[in-house]
Amino acid sequence: MLKLPDNEYDSYYKPYVDALVESDKSILENLEDTQKEALTLLANISEKKQLYRYADGKWTVKELVQHLIDTERVMAYRALRFARRDATDLAGFEVDEYVENSNANTRDYNELLEEFLMVRKSTILLFKNFTDKAMLRIGSANGSIVSVRALGYIISGHLQHHINIIKERYLQ
């Protein structure tokens, strides 16, 4: 079972951490495993399903993939800043605005998947080179504290959360 102290992240991120609750894997193992699972799932989505919305106002699969890319970039950036002892309180970001302005539905799906893979590989290399001491550093984003270590798990848990949603709501 994943043992990450609640005082290392805001309760907003609990669903993402809980998505890995059965896991006793390291941050790197989770990053690699969720990447493989996501790419296997996403690579088999038909062209028709790529623009599917399971309800009004919900994102398409393409928009969801873009959201995964954008969120991972933001979270990895936060981890980098905090690991390097940057004490600046970082701003939050509005995910719906990011998606709305991403033009994801006009993008080539294979390029989206390639970008997702490249961002994840970059995240893996980033976390691979953090020291144990750096992983415990705490920073503030959107007015809430979060550790570098928690961000590593949140990134994987966020992806796992959306993998589950794709399976449950998009591929039925």
pLDDT digits (tens, 9 = 90+) for 55-109: 999 999 999 999 999 999 999 999 999 999 999 999 999 999 999 999 999 999 9
Cα–Cα distance between 33 and 161 in angstroms, integer? 13
pLDDT at 172 > cutoff 90:
no
Give me 110's structure tokens.
């294979």
Q: Residue 2: what pLDDT? A: 65
Q: Residue 22: what pLDDT? A: 65
pLDDT at 154 > cutoff 60:
yes
List of residues 6+ apart from 125 with CB closer than 8 A: none
Q: Residue 18: what pLDDT? A: 83
Q: Residue 139: what pLDDT? A: 97
pLDDT at 120 > cutoff 90:
yes
**Residue 21: which pLDDT band, with cuts at 50, 70 and 90?**
low
Domains of the chain (ranges, CATH numbers): 6-170 (1.20.120.450)
Look at residue 131 and give its three-state secondary structure.
coil
Task: Read off the pLDDT of each residue in 113-132 and give the average, rounded to a whole number.
Answer: 98
Look at residue 148 and give its three-state secondary structure.
helix
For residue 139, list its beta bridge partners: 146
